[in-house]
Amino acid sequence: MHPSRLLALPALTLVAGTAAPQAPKPRSSTPLTIDQLIQIKHPSGHQWTPDGSHVWFTYDDGGVNNVWAAPADGSSPPVALTTYPDGQSGAGGFWSRDGQTFFFPRNGGLLAVSVKGGAPHGAWASAARGRGFSLSPDGERVAFVANAASGFDLIVHTIASNTDKTLAHSDSVMGTPAWSPDGVNITYTVGGAGGGPIQHYASPPEIGPKLIFVATEGGRGGRGGTTFTVSAAGSTPVQLAGSAGGGFGRGGARIDATHTLVTRTSNNGLTRTTESVDAGGGPPVILHVDTAVKFFSSVNTTNNAVSPDHRWLLYTSDVTGWDQIYVVSTTGGMPVQLTKAPAEHWRAVWSHDSKHIAWDANTAAKPGTRQIEVATIGEDPANATIVTVTSGRGTNTAPQWSPDDKRLLFQHTDYQNSADLYVADAVANAKVTRLTSSMPLSIDKSQLVAPQLIHYAGPDGKQVPAWLFVPKNLDRARKHAAVVWIHPDGVNQNYDGWHTDRNEAVYYEFHQYLLQQGYVVIAPDYRGSIGYGRDWRNDVYMDVGGNDAKDARMAARYLKSLGYVDADRIGVWGLSYGGFFTLLAITQEPTWFRAAVDVAGVADYALYYDDPYHGGWTTSRIGTPQEHPEVYAKAAPMSHVDRIQHPLLILHGTADVNVPFIHSVLLMDHLLKAGKGDLASFMVYPGEYHYFDRSFVVRDAWQRVDAFFKQNLRP
């Protein structure tokens, strides 16, 4: 079956197997409930097992993540490999070469579980006192550091024979071991200090001396210790030249035994140079140079990826105005541009044989639709051929090659399906098999609303893309309430259906709920958003909170032009950067919106700049407050809350590191001082992070937003 025949269907159907049964058609349509939304799971981190018989991934179920596996042919449903109430990340996990056993670190040791599921058990005796587990390139051995009676041992464990070999001992702490690409040697570091996170403490006068707010800054290097190399078969460890007291090398991917890939920036961060550096002291070989006019704002791209055979470097560049894929020899030469269409080509990955590359891409005409594409480069990228594996409506992302390079594992969403995993043959006209089904069967998919891509004029006349949702069977002879949703992150976008990322998918889900409550919803992709090319993405340079924020709130003007929207019953809400825009909207245009919800929004960009976690992000876009005080002045909605005329609901988690909780605390302080306390409501979620994760928090937040909009917008 051609993929367009499959992926364009309202509810995807399995080509083979019964892993993802579809919901039976309900006898009578019932509206979505918030509890149903909470039950939608979200898969992420999908990978193949070494033998290609299964895929494994992490399932987020109400903020609890555990590891699952599913047969790659879709012959049976996914199986939970871990079922811990506090969750288990797949990070640090690895598989036996035969794909039958999954190993994962937990509670200071290493556990193992069958691909068929069951109770995890200790991997092997010495693993219980180990850490820093590192699988060899051939998948047959594991290097790790174990606590000894005195000091630390470097051990290599052979999985098949269940035997240990101690390679080195140290009285000082050992770092995580690393294998050489050929699996012959192991490198490890002894001693060293510093380089850990740096914490900054503050008790603003508005808060008082009893509460201390902590901002954590990444480490600043520190002493790297002394680096040694030792044969995996056993030998006397050898100290690497020049490593004492300062670490070793310049980092980056290995090209061969003596060359390392290094990327450096210059020209105030506007120029990036990637080169091959010779550890023997030879001159570096420049592989490619990119220079940006404004700043590098691209995301979800492939910056540098060396092919498995180390012959080629793959990278993404937007010098044409779109994110295109290039390949250049690791020995230098002229890069070859593989993709030419005006489109954003992201998440490119090499096949294991270094002959093929897969990625996902949209088009200028369909920015919210992404397809999986494959390039066959053979021995010469200049003669590459490209085919499209998927087609039809929806968003297909993050392809992963099977071990035999014949199939691709990827994620798919559309307007009737949240994120799920699929496998397709790596050819055009591919057979597609669905592996997971993450929505509860009780949801009536026929009642879900497909978004419409529309455009409206921004403040300077530039056309702003946006996604309009109109409830099914809406009486267009009457006036209806509407909600403007402003997406977070700035450099993000809406899709033609469910968002591919869990953190934003929960908002898309809630908008489907609002639609069934009778609201019209619009979601603008204001300038700065990805998916529309470099120029739209970079048009926030030195103007954060300027035209980009106006783009977002001018969605209300578009709504007012629709004869079925009540201009007096429009609400606005947003998360993070979207919360910042929400605050700007109600302080700069206080009569436009009848109600507003700020979820963990930035209250003042000067405050955001002062946070060491985000200073670099801020200065790349608007410089420092000393350099551009006028830009920071307009990016400070907290200073203008006296203009607010309608109710505002604020939601924030105390453990937020993306937008520190202090933003909402100080915002509330300013609201009270301005005499706006009667308009403001503030819900604090103890221990919650930026993107609300835990099911009880999401449930409470959605119930509050639902009640708040009903009270103030009367759907």
In terms of domains, do 398 and 266 share one?
A: yes
Amino acid at 634: K
Q: Provide the CATH number for the domain around residue 334.
A: 2.120.10.30
In this structure, of 239-243, 501-505, 618-622, the range with the lowest mean pLDDT score is 239-243
Q: Checking phi first, is residue 333 left (phi over 0); if not, alpha (psi -120 to 50) or beta?
A: left
Q: What confidence score (pLDDT) does residue 124 get?
A: 95
Q: Is the pLDDT of residue 12 over 50?
A: no
Is residue 694 in some structural domain?
Answer: yes
What does the pLDDT look like over 340-396, one tens digit per residue?
999 999 999 999 999 999 999 999 999 999 999 999 999 999 999 999 999 999 999
Q: What confidence score (pLDDT) does residue 294 get?
A: 87
Give the model's confidence band at 246: pLDDT under 50 very low, under 70 low, under 90 confident, else very high: very low
Q: What confidence score (pLDDT) does residue 648 get?
A: 98
Residues 583, 638 contacting (CB under 8 angstroms): yes
| Dihedral angle over CA of 220, 609, 295, 600, nearest 10 | 110
User: Rounded mean pLDDT of 588-612?
Assistant: 91
In terms of domains, do 293 and 416 share one?
A: yes
Q: Is the pLDDT of residue 17 over 50?
A: no
Structure tokens at 86: 């506090």
- Sign for the pseudo-dihedral over CA of 468, 471, 473, 474: negative
What does the pLDDT look like over 412-458, one tens digit per residue?
999 999 999 999 999 998 889 999 999 999 999 999 999 999 999 99
In terms of domains, do 349 and 393 share one?
A: yes
Give the model's confidence band at 626: pLDDT under 50 very low, under 70 low, under 90 confident, else very high: confident
Give the model's confidence band at 263: pLDDT under 50 very low, under 70 low, under 90 confident, else very high: confident
Q: Is the pLDDT of residue 218 over 90?
A: no
Structure tokens at 530: 């990805």
Q: What confidence score (pLDDT) does residue 487 get?
A: 97
- Say how many C-beta atoms besides its own lie within 10 A of residue 447's C-beta: 18
- Residue ending a domain, among 192, 212, 241, is 241
Q: Provide the CATH number for the domain around residue 635.
A: 3.40.50.1820
Q: What confidence score (pLDDT) does residue 338 get?
A: 97
Residue 678: partners with Cβ closer than 8 Å, 6 or more residues away: none
* Residue with more model confidence, 626 or 328: 328
Q: What confidence score (pLDDT) does residue 14 get?
A: 34
Q: Is the pLDDT of residue 10 over 80?
A: no
Give the model's confidence band at 632: pLDDT under 50 very low, under 70 low, under 90 confident, else very high: confident
Q: Give the count of alpha carbons within 13 A of 266, CB side only.
A: 6
Q: What confidence score (pLDDT) does residue 1 get?
A: 29
What does the pLDDT look like over 478-534, one tens digit per residue?
999 999 999 998 899 999 999 999 999 999 999 999 999 999 999 999 999 999 999
Q: Is 181 exposed, middle or buried (CB count within 10 Å of its CB: 0-12, 13-18, 19+)?
A: middle
* Residue with more model confidence, 595 or 610: 595
Q: How far from 551 is each of 260, 540, 545, CA to CA, in Å?
A: 44, 11, 10
In terms of domains, do 235 and 267 share one?
A: no
What does the pLDDT look like over 63-95, one tens digit per residue?
999 999 999 999 999 999 999 999 999 999 999
In terms of domains, do 157 and 230 share one?
A: yes
Residues 616, 520 contacting (CB under 8 angstroms): no
Give the model's confidence band at 628: pLDDT under 50 very low, under 70 low, under 90 confident, else very high: confident
Q: Is the pLDDT of residue 268 over 90?
A: no
- Say how many C-beta atoms besides its own lie within 10 A of residue 39's C-beta: 16
Q: What confidence score (pLDDT) does residue 303 get?
A: 76
- Sign for the pseudo-dihedral over CA of 215, 218, 220, 223: positive
Q: How far apart are CA 502 and CA 508, in angstroms?
A: 10
As a whole-number percent, the residues of the chain with pLDDT over 70 amount to 90
In terms of domains, do 587 and 667 share one?
A: yes
Residues 715, 479 contacting (CB under 8 angstroms): no
Torsions phi, psi for 112 (to 5 deg): -135, 150
Q: Which residues of 239-263 are buried (b: 16+ CB within 10 A; e: fewer)?
A: ebeebeeebbbeebbebeeebbbbb
User: Rounded mean pLDDT of 691-703?
Assistant: 96
- DSSP classification of residue 452: E
Is residue 41 in some structural domain?
Answer: no
Q: How far apart are CA 111 and CA 24, in angstroms?
A: 39
Give which of 416, 445, 437 is closest to 29, Cα–Cα.
445
Give the model's confidence band at 612: pLDDT under 50 very low, under 70 low, under 90 confident, else very high: low
User: Rounded mean pLDDT of 548-558?
Assistant: 97
Task: Determine how β-strand 152-158 pairs with β-strand 163-170.
Answer: antiparallel
Q: Is the pLDDT of residue 578 over 80?
A: yes
In angstroms, how far is the first alpha carbon of the chain from the final one? 44
Average pLDDT taken over every residue of the chain: 89
- Residue ending a domain, among 191, 211, 241, is 241
* Residue with more model confidence, 586 or 634: 586
Q: What confidence score (pLDDT) does residue 193 get?
A: 58
Residue 23: partners with Cβ closer than 8 Å, 6 or more residues away: 11, 439, 441, 442, 443, 444, 445
Structure tokens at 348: 């490119």
Q: SS in 3 state form for 30-48?
A: CCCCHHHHHCCCEEEEEEE
- DSSP classification of residue 706: H
In terms of domains, do 395 and 457 share one?
A: no
In terms of domains, do 383 and 466 share one?
A: no
Q: What confidence score (pLDDT) does residue 224 get?
A: 60
Across the beta sheet with 285-291, the strand order is: 259-266, 271-278, 285-291
Alpha-helix residue ranges (DSSP H) falling in 401-546: 502-517, 534-537
Q: What are the beta bridge partners of residue 370?
A: 395
- Residue ending a domain, among 421, 440, 459, is 440
* Residue with more model confidence, 527 or 620: 527
Q: Which helix (H) or strand (E) holds 386?
A: strand 385-388
Is residue 54 in some structural domain?
Answer: yes
Q: How far from 237 is each of 163, 166, 202, 457, CA to CA, in Å?
A: 21, 12, 47, 67
Give the model's confidence band at 101: pLDDT under 50 very low, under 70 low, under 90 confident, else very high: very high
Residues 573, 585 contacting (CB under 8 angstroms): no
Is residue 45 in some structural domain?
Answer: no
Q: Provide the CATH number for the domain around residue 195.
A: 2.140.10.30
**Length of the chain in terms of residues written:** 715
In terms of domains, do 417 and 548 share one?
A: no
In terms of domains, do 164 and 268 share one?
A: no
* Residue with more model confidence, 325 or 172: 325
Q: Is the pLDDT of residue 25 over 90?
A: no
- Say how many C-beta atoms besides its own lie within 10 A of residue 655's C-beta: 12
Structure tokens at 528: 């700065």
Is residue 248 in some structural domain?
Answer: no
Q: Is the pLDDT of residue 247 over 80?
A: no
In terms of domains, do 485 and 396 share one?
A: no
Is residue 679 in some structural domain?
Answer: yes
Give the model's confidence band at 5: pLDDT under 50 very low, under 70 low, under 90 confident, else very high: very low
In terms of domains, do 395 and 522 share one?
A: no
Which of 144-153, 658-667, 673-682 has the largest mean confidence? 673-682
- What is the total count of domains within the chain? 3
Q: Is the pLDDT of residue 607 over 50?
A: yes
Give the model's confidence band at 18: pLDDT under 50 very low, under 70 low, under 90 confident, else very high: very low
* Residue with more model confidence, 52 or 627: 52
Is residue 38 in some structural domain?
Answer: no
Give the model's confidence band at 187: pLDDT under 50 very low, under 70 low, under 90 confident, else very high: very high
Q: Which helix (H) or strand (E) holds 130?
A: strand 130-135
Give the model's confidence band at 613: pLDDT under 50 very low, under 70 low, under 90 confident, else very high: low
State how far Cα 192 lies from the chain centre: 32
Q: Is the pLDDT of residue 406 over 60?
A: yes
Q: How far apart are CA 523 and CA 182, in angstroms?
A: 50
Is residue 329 in some structural domain?
Answer: yes
Domain interval for residue 372: 1-7+254-440
Considering all CA atoms of the chain, what is the largest pairwise distance in Å, rounded to the nearest integer?
85
Q: How far from 195 is each of 217, 219, 221, 376, 502, CA to CA, in Å?
A: 11, 4, 4, 43, 32
Three-state DSSP class for residue 50: coil
Q: Which residues of 152-170 are buried (b: 16+ CB within 10 A; e: fewer)?
A: bbbbbbebeeeebeebbeb
Q: How far apart are CA 476 and CA 253, in angstroms?
A: 58
User: Rounded mean pLDDT of 213-233?
Assistant: 74
Q: What are the beta bridge partners of residue 121?
A: 112
> Rg of the Cα trace of the chain?
27
Residues 449, 515 contacting (CB under 8 angstroms): yes
